[in-house]
Chain A
Amino acid sequence: MSVGHVSKIFESMGLSTVCFFVKSFMHLIEQMKIPRTIVTNNFIGRTIGKPYDLFNQTNVVRQGIELLSSGTIQNSIKII
């Protein structure tokens, strides 16, 4: 929830954001209407991936950065 609030304030002040959440917090993303979010199928406390899993961690962060320019207000949640 904290990240969602930081994101909403940043966006309202002219700063683009992309958030990373795990699927267990999907309900928060929807109820808070958080802009540009990557949702991962990882456990809480492992949002970006498993420890030392460089390949999948890189994929998650890369997709987040790409979402900055490709996401639209109507379609800004990407589940990976």
Chain B
Amino acid sequence: MEKNKNTYESYNETVEEFKNSFSYGSRNNLFFKYLGGKNISENEFTIFIEELLNVIIDDIDKDEFSELKKLIFNSQIKGYLPKSKNDKYTADWDRVFNPAKYTYEDTPWTKFSKPLKKSKLSLISAGGVFCKDDDPIQPGGMTQEDAINKISEFLRSPPTLAEIPNNISKEKLSIRHPGYDIRAAEKDPNVVFPYEILKNLHQEGVFASYTDNFYSFVGASPQSEIIKTYAPKWAQMLKSHNVDAVLLVAA
């Protein structure tokens, strides 16, 4: 992370430096990190800031913030669009998630033929959720700040699956993930790990049963390791628990 330049001392920061500081820089903000990416040009960034300020004024007058949300939502979609084939992949993140490398022609498919009312389900979230007293990555628990500082390490290390007992209380859950803004998940883990929602639907009788544990890992992991080693291992483990289907939540 670069040196914090956000002081009152005189500093001639360029627009580009300001823009880039939101993506793992001095103003790191994982919600808006896409603004610091290559998909948003310097010119688009300044237009966005100008629009943002105007929309805020309009929405304040309406006391209603749907236009603000729409503006940010659309900018987020643009910010995450894949790069063109001519763009070079240099950063760790881009190398691991290079879309050109992971474009497929086939869709593997297992028909779900069992009635839901006789089926056992499980849940895996890529949101980096774990039990407070049992962080499988760092004994004692890793903070979000630690996770962000270790982004390159995550992108090189194999994924670790956290086992989370299905009866865990919210107070015993923790979250750390170097790739996304965890503020909403800290308030309510169901936004990326819908463990309570799944149990409510079971209570309603939508499906028959669920596993003793639910699971989570940090999605910012080497894709080749997931494909070759870890996903097959996790599939075997779930099949040994007679699971019929798995809900997989991206963060």
- The yes or no verdict on A and B being binding partners is yes
Give the B-binding residues of A (Cβ under 8 A).
Answer: 1-28, 31-35, 41, 43-52, 54, 57-58, 60-62, 64-65, 68-69, 73, 76
Question: Is B71 located at the chain interface by the 8 A CB criterion?
Answer: no
CA distance A51 to B191 in the complex (A): 6
By a CB distance below 8 angstroms, the chain B residues around A33 are 104-107
Give the A-binding residues of B (Cβ under 8 A).
Answer: 30-31, 72-73, 76-77, 79-82, 97, 99, 102-112, 115-116, 121, 124, 126-127, 159, 180-185, 187-188, 190-192, 194, 197-198, 200-201, 206-207, 217, 219-221, 223, 226-227, 231-232, 234-236, 238-239, 243-251
CA distance A44 to B198 in the complex (A): 21
Contact yes or no, A58 B201, CB < 8 A: yes
By a CB distance below 8 angstroms, the chain B residues around A51 are 184, 187-188, 190-191
CA distance A77 to B82 in the complex (A): 20
By a CB distance below 8 angstroms, the chain A residues around B99 are 1, 27-28, 31
CA distance A59 to B197 in the complex (A): 9
| Known contacts A13-B236, A16-B244, A24-B79, then 19 further A-B pairs from the complex at CB < 8 Å, ordered by chain A residue | A1-B99, A1-B219, A6-B126, A7-B248, A8-B104, A11-B109, A15-B245, A16-B246, A17-B247, A17-B248, A19-B248, A20-B248, A20-B249, A32-B102, A32-B103, A45-B185, A57-B190, A57-B191, A65-B121
CA distance A45 to B206 in the complex (A): 26
CA distance A17 to B249 in the complex (A): 10
Q: A32-B102, A48-B190, A50-B191 are in contact. Are A13 and B184 (CB under 8 A)?
A: no
